[in-house]
Homo-oligomer: A and B are copies of this chain.
């Protein structure tokens, strides 16, 4: 079947390169003779059920290229997580508009949506090719070497920590940077790629793959501060105690007992602030500063990996090629996955939707050091090629001390 109509949508958190995948789908689909229309749904699955569709066949190639280089979801996104009933509504709209191919760019929730819609079509004996196109800064999709969006966000985090380390060396103290990632620590771990010299920070990295113990944390910070006279720390927002309870709620309680005041849990800067308070109060260090990278790490315009851009474009193109001509096993529905070959090249594969849908990848044990507060060289080798070309580099003055005259210091 060479369908007349195609629909594409974007779901979940925006990334720096998700529009590359959109452009990849649209430009590739438009060059197929049998394709009459390429539609886009505004704000993901919500736009489908509301029939809020735009005709991307009427968009210029030039503007599609410009949009591709613009971060965030150009079609708009949604946080809706469809259940079976919601997917039935999606399917009704696809039927009504005679859509023959459905592409959804998103994370593991989105892949599950694609899986259910695909099952609806099968049950109704309606010919629909359903492709999930990977996207997430969390890098937590199974079956993928890595996911589009992650390398650019990782580059932002690495550059942020490279800069924070220089700032911290100039005005010594403790710096805590809180990075996104509820279950997977890949993005927080990327902070390590900002290091160059042996004594550079981040000196400590806390990942959700390891249990976070406040006492151990304070001992680590104390030891680092005594050794270097300063300490730069990367913390995942998802750090939790042995029972799985987020540290943010644990610390907030302790601080209330300490009568430290009206601590609010829901604010996005809370974890960094609470960890800083803990360090000040328990270790007696005066200069302690916390940043929460928040939305900057996924939305900042002008910090992007060219490798990520290229791959995000290709997964969109490959999605259409798989739907038109089938994957290796002939399937025309599935989830596009990135595979690594050599050091470093990317290849693509169409996985069954069930292999990806709703599953969560976390950091492989070989990427985390035994003490749990740093990454291994295996992780550095894994991440470095993804960050792309033109990574900024930090230099320092070499020591040439002048002999003292007054000897007062």
Q: Tell me the complex Cα distance, A63–B396, Å.
A: 8
A398 at the interface (CB under 8 A from B): yes
A374 at the interface (CB under 8 A from B): no
Which residue of B is nearest A300, CB measured? B163
A391 to chain B, nearest CB (A): 8
Q: Tell me the complex Cα distance, A375–B299, Å.
A: 23
A297 to chain B, nearest CB (A): 9
What's the number of copies of this chain in the assembled complex? Answer: 2
A35 at the interface (CB under 8 A from B): no
Q: Tell me the complex Cα distance, A171–B46, Å.
A: 12
A349 at the interface (CB under 8 A from B): no
A261 touches B254 (CB 8 A): yes
Q: Tell me the complex Cα distance, A184–B260, Å.
A: 31
26 CB contacts below 8 A, A to B, read A40-B397, A54-B397, A54-B402, A55-B402, A56-B400, A59-B398, A59-B400, A63-B395, A67-B397, A72-B169, A74-B395, A75-B397, A92-B406, A93-B406, A96-B405, A159-B300, A162-B301, A163-B300, A166-B301, A253-B262, A267-B277, A268-B291, A269-B270, A269-B290, A292-B294, A303-B303
A221 at the interface (CB under 8 A from B): no
A171 to chain B, nearest CB (A): 5
A70 to chain B, nearest CB (A): 5
B51 touches A396 (CB 8 A): no
A167 touches B298 (CB 8 A): yes
A14 at the interface (CB under 8 A from B): yes
A101 at the interface (CB under 8 A from B): no
Interface string of A245-270 (1 = CB under 8 A from B): 00000011110000011101011111
A241 to chain B, nearest CB (A): 19
Interface of A toward B, CB cutoff 8 Å: 10, 13-14, 37, 39-40, 43, 49-56, 58-59, 63, 66-67, 69-79, 92-93, 96-97, 159-160, 162-164, 166-167, 169-171, 175, 194, 251-254, 260-262, 264, 266-270, 272-274, 276-277, 280, 288-296, 298-303, 391-402, 404-409
Q: Tell me the complex Cα distance, A73–B165, Å.
A: 11
A273 touches B277 (CB 8 A): no
Interfacial chain B residues near A404, Cβ < 8 Å: 51
Supposing A67-B396, A96-B405, A268-B269 touch, asked if A291 and B301 sit within 8 A by C-beta, the answer is: no
B264 touches A254 (CB 8 A): no
A76 touches B401 (CB 8 A): no
Interfacial chain B residues near A260, Cβ < 8 Å: 253-254
B406 touches A171 (CB 8 A): no
Among candidates B51, B272, B407, residue contacting A405 with C-beta atoms closer than 8 Å: B51
A163 touches B301 (CB 8 A): yes
Q: Tell me the complex Cα distance, A404–B97, Å.
A: 9
A83 to chain B, nearest CB (A): 18
Interfacial chain B residues near A262, Cβ < 8 Å: 251, 253
Supposing A92-B406, A273-B268, A399-B54 touch, asked if A73 and B301 sit within 8 A by C-beta, the answer is: no
Select the residue from A43, A159, A268 with max chain B CB neighbours within 10 A. Answer: A268
A87 to chain B, nearest CB (A): 15
A98 to chain B, nearest CB (A): 9
A55 touches B401 (CB 8 A): yes
Q: Tell me the complex Cα distance, A401–B57, Å.
A: 11
Among candidates B76, B291, B395, B401, residue contacting A294 with C-beta atoms closer than 8 Å: B291
Supposing A51-B405, A268-B289 touch, asked if A296 and B160 sit within 8 A by C-beta, the answer is: yes
